[in-house]
Structure 1
């Protein structure tokens, strides 16, 4: 700790003063050079090599990362000693005593790793998302991390793009609500609390539209589509109080986002009133030069500060050129002051002036029973059962050869993930450790003992021999995390080479096959679904991978995850999503699946958004509305009866969609607007009621302003986006 009591020379250290007053007091003492220093972030600060710059107030922040694509390779971790040494230079050795802001990618866990964000999205559970964020913040804070670069809320219908693994699904409502929960988990009610850190909504904006699913590529999109789709989860994060927003690498219709004055300064900061920090992505300001919009770093710095980028991540363009740009009159000092004010505001809000140091004597930082319980809950909720021909759940007590029910007998567990903890953590797990992972082999061995046979699948002929001796096979298929995440796009979303060959051979034996698919993206699972008796999509589940899988396979918990992205029939069907809008040729999905789209394939999704099965059956009644009309400023209730018609309990994700048949611009054929998690005992029926406000039907019209139209709205309820029953209401102009 440091003595942060105010003195006449440093009145901004008075923690009883309002944050804005403290910012004013500090800025009044700062030179232009010191202000510019607050806009400069370095990577992996070295307290010895950087000591002079720190003491001179020439840098504001540091992130710890292995490089520009830090999610793809491990570094030596957060060096707490370096953090504290650097802070001593800043707090005790500089003229103004401004602490350094340390950041780290804590994307889905720090030491306790939860499922990848796309797996969290499969839970449809905002409480789980918040709990994961809270634990990640607590563990990261122990190591001196005060800021992380999550949640990623880029909307994409492009599974070739590796970064869908970091996303929260394809729909604005799901992504936005989960993002808000993650922000609350990291920041809490008081971000200055010792166990909280700042969150960052990224990447603003349109990054999920990168051409061809190629990372960093160009984006061609109009502002209407941005507002009606891609900006909405960012607005939800801002409304939830997120402290920072990261600019995207891509351009939008020719303007690099790091130079996009309209979207950053006018929309994000102006229209939405965002008062936090806009941070560049790694060398994002320098990359304006590569994009051909600036001749050099000096011009790039001018474009970025005018656009509203407050903090320069590692390019050094601000540090090298902002002071001269202001003194020459090319950049208004007010723009620099605005950026500095935002950075200082964040540091005060986080309590860095009162608590700059990382070291907490005796603080342990490893998974605990408490944190593992949250990770297990999240991992279980991420399991999505997408096929079950009566072979699940398995019975751990059945004897071989009984031939009845779902008795397991001898079980073969095979595939590259059987004992590979590191691969089950997923992309962007900088501080998780493979040895902390409960693997599928260890968890299933605990339940089956010597009735479990294990093969890592390296020798397919050996695997086939073992499968012949087993009564059933559980095949662990899918992607290594190095095939997803940043800079890991693919042209083919089928399983990696060789895996289908093994599945074909094992399925050819005529014995039950359960396929478990670990992945960071939607895949072409057509042949997997055809060959397997049961299929579970698991994503990359984190430290409790094995326990979560075993509990689902053996029915200790009911599978209740749902697909947060559409799974297309083939790679050639991309893009496929719930974003589909009506075209000039009327194509009815229930009648004209083979009409006018492809000569060689139908156009429906293989697995629709929101899809998932349980170990029971659930029937849906038709939706009933409380009133046939609703005022523009009013609300209406929609009630649907759901009945568990089977013999096992379940958690059903009851989904509500809507369609606006006649609007000023084309609108989605179905759009998720709400959902409810409903627990049903065997035979139980429940009425699920949604309170629907007319403002939920709002969209950006031709003038880009939000509007709610008079006229018909179709409301649809069901278990997923493809199995829906509808009713209609009319929005009226009077109140």
Structure 2
């Protein structure tokens, strides 16, 4: 390859056209492209892409360029393609790696039918400030959950590593690294974080994704301790390539190479190109800095030619792994056969039910067969709004609304509907009904990229409407649909039930109604703590202890004007029957080298309805070389229980489960002691103690 052809592999353009860009395609000026409506594409629909258009691009690249190297076509396929699943935060509420993998598998199957072979997902940022709009794209506040579910998404997108198959697409672990710590929840803002927190919390999901075989990584926009990630040699070239052993291409975020000028590190795109390539960014997304300057930088000796060779090799190897050299084209008839099939809709319905979290229930749920049901609220008849952020290829006409799902479910009852535009009409209908279901919450335009907020309260006017409905309703169920954790203090006592739903996707109406009627047991759990008020954030379950720990029942608090604990803790979610937990049993009191200890607890459904209990395992190290969190999630089991049924739930603990990383990133495991807690959420459960020893444990 000529120097220009090598550089071409590192240049990504947006929305190329085989006719307009014929000369560039013939000259192999770019090797990858993104189909997107712009830098803030998350809430902007575009014309999408079709196999015929991608084939035309490929034909121009392969048949008119000197070497015939195919293109790699990318798109933001975040939580579905034509079949839209719940937002990642909603999928995380299921605590179910298998359904995450299945959703990613379907997304890949549908997107590749349109010629897309690279997605910029999953997002692995640990998001502990819900003011940040991109919390919607995350797996929540916990590093273990983000690692567990992010790895599942990688496997789904990449078809378990079989990248050469026509229905596999390259995944991209983003945004490397620490983007979820943007100050004040302000998108793109700076990040300050110490090495221990970075290694144990924010790098951990990326390590898991690399271990899962993720094909690509995206560097983030922000600065970390003063250095923009796009130019961060220690974290990109040294840690990602060295410590983590990642061998695939690193792509910048949109125009992030060019933005090194705004960060104050480069006077122009020439300097920016040199900084980014030296740091380890292989592909420049849309800036054009590599295309314009890299050849000259190599000739002048400013950038070693070997760096260009290595980067081009990584891009070409990915194309080879994807089978593009053997067959760069997509069957134009495949999309009609795979888009929005009944099986895909059925999966979307199951996933939507998992995005429903029952927060409070005073006995109104599950709904019995009402004679008169009134469904109201701005989101009762919503269609496209249920899809959430980053749904470029979803269509409003494909969505099942909550109102329509209720009409279908209660075909023999009187179901009245209004959208809440006229509160006086809503009050009249509510007074006549046996049950009122009020569907409120966030429009997706308030979540996603560049959509941060200063207040986590529900949108203006909704609490007042709900309070008025509660005064006249016999029984009121409040359903809050959202793209982020909200502060719901003002709804603490409004109505007889409070339900949180993370934007649930194309089958959202069915999923919500399935849970409210009891056709499906509630199984959603909070992937992030819900604060009482915005002023409490960041508020996460794995905080470190202070030197003056609080008694939760005591009279002293950190705040003078509010309590310190969340309104609902991480992992919280009710079922329709209570579940009891009996004490933790260990197979050994000490964990020796190479050994595994079994921790078990008996859980019992003490009610009259089936439940799907999400049993969570937490550990706490009470003595270590660093201060360890007050609780760390290290395992989850989802256990179906019939009425009256008991089950012994077993987890396995080894040294890696109990270990942490020091400031240099070295893995360490110390003697402890450790508290082992098996619990329904981060705020409760049953416990015992475990020690780690350098000797094998004796008999128990």
Give the TM bin, normalised by the shorter chain: over 0.9
The residue aligned with 2:169 is: 197
Query: What is the rounded CA distance, in whole Å, between the counterparts of 1:459 and 1:247 in structure 2?
Result: 47
Moved more, 95-104 or 47-56: 47-56
The answer to whether the 8 A contact 1:710-1:731 is kept is: yes
Q: Provide the rounded CA distance (Å) in 1 between the counterparts of 2:280 and 2:53.
A: 31
Of 234, 252, 256, 1:262 maps to: 234
Deviation of the 1:702 alpha carbon: 4.0
Query: Residue 619 of structure 1 contacts residue 644 of structure 1 at CA under 8 Å; is this kept in 2?
Result: yes
* Secondary structure, counterpart of 1:586 in structure 2: coil
Are the counterparts in 2 of residues 665 and 702 from structure 1 also a CA contact under 8 Å? Answer: no
Give 2:389's aligned residue.
427
Out of 350, 357, 367, the residue aligned to residue 384 of structure 1 is 357
Could you tell which deviates more after superposition, 360-369 or 714-723? 360-369
Query: 1:489 and 2:452 equivalent?
Result: yes
Measured after TM superposition, the shift of residue 600 of structure 1 is: 0.4
Write out per-residue CA displacement over residues 117-141 of structure 1, whole angstroms, 9 at most, x where no aligned residue: 0000000111100110110000000
SS in 2 for 1:135: helix
CA RMSD, Structure 1 to Structure 2 (Å)? 1.2
Asked if 1 retains the 8 angstrom alpha-carbon contact of 2:580 and 2:605, the reply is yes
Residue 86 of structure 2 is aligned to residue 124 of structure 1: no
Matched, 1:706 2:667: yes
For 1:634 and 1:569, how far apart are their aligned partners in 2?
Answer: 42
Pairing 1:68–2:29 present: no
Q: Are the equivalent residues in 1 in contact too, given 2:380–2:440 (CA < 8 A)?
A: no
Structure 2 residue 56 is the aligned partner of structure 1 residue 93: no
226, 244, 247: which one aligns with 1:272 = 244
Q: Does the Cα contact within 8 Å between 1:633 and 1:695 map onto a contact in 2? A: no
CA contact 1:417–1:477 (8 Å) conserved in 2? yes
Q: Which residue of 2 aligns with 1:14?
A: none
Asked if structure 2 preserves the Cα contact closer than 8 Å seen for 1:718 and 1:725, the reply is yes
Distance 1:312 1:446 in 2: 50
Q: Is the 8 A contact 1:632 1:708 kept in 2?
A: no
2:346 alignment partner, one of 357, 373, 376: 373
2:320 corresponding residue in structure 1: 348
What's the counterpart of residue 581 of structure 2? 620
Q: How many residues align?
A: 693
The equivalences for 1:155-554 within 5 A come to 155-188=126-159, 189-361=161-333, 363-364=335-336, 365-396=338-369, 408-449=370-411, 450-509=413-472, 511-554=474-517
Contact 2:578–2:606 under 8 Å retained in 1 = yes
Where 1:123 maps in the other structure, the secondary structure is: coil
Q: Stretches of 4+ moved more than 4 A in 1?
A: none
Measured against aligned partners, the alpha-carbon deviations of 1:411-448 in whole angstroms (never above 9, x if no partner) come to 11001112221000110000010100111111101122
Deviation at 1:701, TM superposition (A): 1.9
Structure 1 position 587, deviation (Å): 2.2
Q: 2:107 aligns with which of 126, 136, 145?
A: 136
Task: Give me the whole-angstrom Cα distance separating, in 1, the residues matched to 2:189 and 2:51.
Answer: 36
Once the two structures are overlaid, the 10-residue window that deviates more, 236-245 or 75-84, is 75-84
- Residue of 562, 584, 587 corresponding to 2:547: 584
Q: Matched residues in 1 for 2:490 and 2:583: separation?
A: 34
Task: Return the alpha-carbon distance in structure 1 between the equivalents of residues 424 and 259 of structure 2.
Answer: 50
SS in 2 for 1:159: coil
**TM-score, with structure 1 as normaliser:** 0.93
User: Deviation string for 1:135-159 (max 9, x for gaps)?
Assistant: 0000000100000011001001101
Give 2:636's aligned residue. 675
8 Å contact 1:664–1:702 — kept in the other structure? no
Q: CA deviation at 1:596?
A: 4.0
Give the Å deviation of 1:224.
Answer: 1.6
CA deviations on 1:667-693 (whole Å, 9 max, x unpaired) are: 110010001000111101110110111
Supply the distance in 2 between the matched residues of 1:312 and 1:358 (Cα, whole angstroms): 26
Q: Mean Cα displacement is larger for which, 614-623 or 692-701?
A: 692-701
Distance in 2 between residues matched to 1:50 and 1:658, nearest whole Å = 57
Q: Secondary structure at the match of 2:93?
A: helix
Q: CA deviation at 1:360?
A: 2.8
Q: Distance in 2 between matches of 1:318 and 1:532?
A: 58
* 1:431 alignment partner, SS class: coil
Q: Secondary structure at the match of 1:237?
A: helix
Asked if the contact 1:411–1:471 (Cα under 8 Å) also holds between the matched residues in 2, the reply is yes
Q: What is the aligned partner in structure 2 of residue 691 from structure 1? A: 652
Structure 2 counterpart SS, 1:429: coil
The alpha-carbon deviation at position 468 of structure 1 amounts to 1.2
1:79 is displaced (CA, Å) by 4.2
Q: Structure 1, residues 43-85: CA drift from partner, whole Å, max 9, x if none? A: 0011112111111111011101100010121111114333222
Tell me the distance in 2 between the aligned counterparts of 1:576 and 1:433.
Answer: 36
How far apart are the structure 1 equivalents of 2:22 and 2:266?
A: 32
Displacement of 1:109 in angstroms is 0.4
Cα distance in structure 2, aligned partners of 1:204 and 1:702: 18
Alignment partners' CA distance in 2, 1:702 and 1:226: 9
1:510 CA displacement:
5.2
> 2: distance between equivalents of 1:596 and 1:610?
24
CA distance in 1 between counterparts of 2:285 and 2:525 reads: 36
Candidates 569, 593, 600, aligned match of 1:639: 600
Alpha-carbon distance in structure 2 between the residues aligned to 1:141 and 1:469: 50
- Whether 2:78 is the aligned partner of 1:107: answer yes
SS of the aligned residue for 2:472 comes to coil
Deviation at 1:518, TM superposition (A): 0.6
Distance 1:263 1:487 in 2: 25
> Any stretches of 5+ residues in structure 1 without a counterpart?
1-29, 397-407
Q: Deviations over 1:237-292 (max 9, x none)?
A: 11111101110001100000000011011111111111111100000100111011
1:633: how far off? 3.2
Contact 2:113 2:334 survives alignment (8 Å): no
Structure 1 CA distance for aligned equivalents of residues 557 and 353 of structure 2 = 41
TM-score (norm 2): 0.98
Look up the SS of the partner of 2:312 in the other structure.
helix
Determine if contact 2:431/2:473 at 8 Å carries over to the other structure.
Answer: no
1:168–1:55 distance in 2 versus 1, CA, 3 Å: same
1:296: how far off?
Answer: 1.1
Q: Is the 8 A contact 1:656 1:675 kept in 2?
A: yes
Query: Out of 707, 716, 719, which is 2:680 matched to?
Result: 719
Return the offset for 1:508. Answer: 1.4
Quickly say closer, same or farther: Cα 1:153–1:570, change in 2 above 3 A. same
Q: What SS class does the counterpart of residue 541 from structure 1 fall into?
A: coil
Distance 2:662 2:382 in 1: 51
